[in-house]
Structure 1
Amino acid sequence: MMKIDNLTKMEVAALTDINGGLNLTDGHARLALSNEQAEVIEQFPTLFHEASRRRFADIETEAHRVFFDTIGQHTAPVGTGRILSCYSSTLATDIVARALPVGTKVALLHPTFDNIADLFRTRGLSLTALSEADLMEQRWPSAVDVIAITHPNNPTGLVTPPDHLRSLAEHAARAGQTVIVDAAFRGQVRSAQYDTYAILDAAGVDWITFEDTGKLWPMHEMKIGMLVFSERHAAAIEAAFAESLLSASPAVLLLVRELARDWAAGGFESARALVERNRRIVSDEIGRVGLELADPKSEISVARIQLPAGGPDSAKLYREMVGRGVHVLPCPPFHWANPEEGLRLIRVSLARPSDAVEAAARTLASTFAELA
């Protein structure tokens, strides 16, 4: 298999395309503001002045409380000092990778976004793959120190059911393991919004979670990644955090507060309707050439397309589409332990204007048909 860049490098190439091609790579919301979101942005000067007047700790606690309540995490440790605000969830992931001892053995969900595996390996952690089948059949590994899942999973959209998380947490508590939950897409999926903190704490397990606002709102990278952890990991994570940054922006935290309030007041339903409309558009366009969605029940803002044997693989299709001004993601990097598993899958983002999604899906379908 020919070399494929990591996913973020392909996303950067799409974002910086000087020819202005269609960018359906990253899962961030790249959309026009809703009327309600536009009203929040009009308030930003007021929020900026509020950030100048109030204590950072008070702003952070308030923003956390509103955000976590909005996504159903009512027992998250708001106000305890065990939620750290970062300017991205990638930074939060790297902080955890540095906080864990070199040589820590991690069972990481497979497939999932490749930068988790890349960051962990770069910081000297040892990885083994935990398949989605293992997760759903509750086959938990014993010979590891950490079990890390993504909930919902990117790119498949798999939601870990509450009973499965409870089983994992209880297993890890007995085995002296830590559970890591990357919940960056949680805010998009109601079934993922059961209170995971209540389950983890009830099991008595050590845990770390990541929450993210970047996948929810079209805020041009004004976002917060939240790093949350149980008591045992506090000292190491706080030290690694202090090596990386002083704080996230209080003005952005206030922006998150207001956007979360809108999300709870109908913003979620509007965004979900757009994503599902775009999923149908993709399904219809690719169906004209015999292609199908790999995960038709997924609810997150990305969709994988299954490519049949005998036609172009995703690496070839990706290169040809870039030449035609459309950027999507070939899936081998998601399969970080065995990239060839992803050759017959390609991923598109749905958090885009519907006309852009339709144009990109039509180009993908016609390109596939020509190459096949």
Structure 2
Amino acid sequence: MVKIVEKQVQLDFPLGHHLHCLIAQIPNRLQRRDHLFTLVDAEEQWRLVRSVLDLVAEGSGNLKRLHFLMFPETSVPLSRFDDLLNIIDERFRPNTVTMFGLEQIRLEQYRALLRRFEEDNAEALDCVERDIDSGDILGMPVNWCCIAIKERDGRLRVFLEAKTHPFRGEEFLDKDHDLYRGRHFYLFRAQPACFNFMTVICLDYLYRDLYSSNIKQIIDHADRLFFTMRQSLDALFVIQCNPKPEHRSYREVLSGFYGEFLEDTPGVRETVTVFGNCSDESEIEGVRCQSCYGVSFVVISARHKMSPFQDREFASDDFEGAPVCRLRFGTGTRLYYFNLPLYHELDPRSSRVPLKVHSVLRWTDDAGWVKVGDGEGQVL
């Protein structure tokens, strides 16, 4: 069973006002080397990641109000891990959460990183040490992510998570080279904002077997928060590198998550679920598809009011009849900047829409990130 570890963090989000999130839907070009998925051109990838970090640090437009920044899984070069943390520490504003996936590493390296950041990852390190004590597994690949939180006083905290369930490209006939399965999720409880959020990696949202389910663990934990403290899970972030972002399994789990088909779920009733994927320029060795990446999206309960809408860069729908409202983005290399809606159900003001897209930016070789104008892009 995956362990949910609660962490208290100091984030002074504005009370009674919506928060802001930026999805960096950038391409991943991965190849397999010694049973690890690594970036084909790490320096080129870092230049693209760095361009997003610089944009956020400069705070052009209303990016000064950014609270959550998402990169896809396996999108950050391992060699630039410290560089990324230094930029966040030195240039990002307080009360900023940055979530990003890194190149795969060996379990031995992952344990060393947990030890390096043991102050924030003691429970995760304990889970890994118990696994290592049970067998010779230090060489197993680890698909992992980092949640870097710059608190209100400027202190940088670094939390690490390992993916709990692999896709088909990460599993091997040779058991020693199979993907290590993470044993924990973090649930961050931000004070004084009283905002609770989690980050998981792609298929962690779907993982089910006969006896347990990651997503049910999350729902049950959020329900306990509701029944004991009248708090709930406010946001769930899912970072992806997914060639099937709209697979039927996601729709089914979202339907159960928001539809209360099996049990009452007040702890996640008003959760905003954000899926951040890589763009359609992605290429993964061993995974064949054509223009099948992208489609990052945001989901809220159907209790909110959001009418169907169609634009060249985004659209709203109910995910083929699911009990949700969904804001669905396109497939290209883009930055999507939007708000996380406040807690409320149907608003009597007919003009009120809970989700707002503040801006969409596209990448150009000459000018870097520029706003997408009217008439650009392909209709969804």
Same fold (TM over 0.5): no
Q: Which has the higher helix share?
A: 1
Q: Which has the higher strand share?
A: 2
TM-score (structure 2 length as normaliser): 0.29
TM-score (structure 1 length as normaliser): 0.30
Higher RCO (C-alpha under 8 Å, 6+ residues apart):
1
